[in-house]
Homo-oligomer: A and B are copies of this chain.
Amino acid sequence: MKTEEAASTSRRPAKAPGCSIAEMQATARSARWHILHTVANSKAGHIGGPLSMTDLVVALYFSELRIDPEWPDAPLRDRFVLSKGHSAIGLYSVLALRGYFPVSELATFDHGNSRLQGHPDMKLTPGVDVSTGSLGQGLSAGVGIALGAKMRGLDFRTWVLLGDGELQEGMVWEAINSAARYGLSNLTAIVDLNGLQQFGWPRVEGRDRFDRSEPWSHVDLEAIFRGFGWNVVQVDGHDFAAILAAFEEVRERADEGRPAVILARTVKGEGISFTRGTYKWHNGVADEQQLATARAELGMDEVAR
């Protein structure tokens, strides 16, 4: 194997130096601010999905993942696949805050000749492990990575973040089956259950949380994943303590020889009053007034000071 020696002899990156929950919450607020104003500035982009996953991604990059911004392609780094690639700006914001590239570079998002494409491009962006954008493909890539790591005896974990609407893609279910068949305990899927997709179905009064139907309110996702032989952890995707606990549980049960899924209950557009809980902000461009509101709500002025 060409990179065999390289990999086996290379050191495994360490976790981020202990970062307090308060610090992660502050980081998440900055990330949310970057999401909103970067998209406003580039006049195109997704908002609701990036905002719902922000806390999960911050928890991964600032606490869980064994990665090294100075050495983005370390062979033994943990891998992260943003299967819901349309939420790229959310990932870019966190990568920038984590030091993969200057925060100022976010301003090039969606502009021509940028390293920050509308959907993640592994060939352009430091820290992006897999190119995504066409939904439903990331988990298969993650299965291939986790299976390859097992075959080569490489010790790292692969994380794949999916959208709840994205779970409607059949290819995801092909991968769910393969992960179980190959007992990939080094693979963790996280589903951003933010309750909305782009258009979807009319909301059912009393059943759905927001202004359109929940992608999965008519089924029992936990029972389905368990039936497929996965370990399932339910968590509030906006509670850092709970998220970190879920990550730990996943790691500790790795010996069970089963892949794990974290069903993270979130809110689409979380963190900003006017984007919260509405499919209308799946994507959108905030105006001056809205930017000011968000800036205040996210406490960006204090940060600035």
Contact = CB atoms under 8 A, between A and B. Distances in A.
Interface stretch (A27-35, A81-89, A166-174, A266-274): A166-174
A19 B170 CA distance: 40
A223 interface: yes
A223 B232 CA distance: 14
Given A219-B228, A227-B223, A229-B219, A169 B174 contact: yes
Contacts of A227: 219-224, 227
Interface string A203-242: 0000000000000001111111011110000000000000
Interface residues of A, number: 23
A290 interface: no
B218 A181 contact: yes
B223 A226 contact: yes
A221 B228 CA distance: 8
A151 to B, nearest CB: 16
6 contacts: A136-B170, A168-B174, A173-B173, A181-B218, A221-B227, A222-B227
Nearest to A140: B170
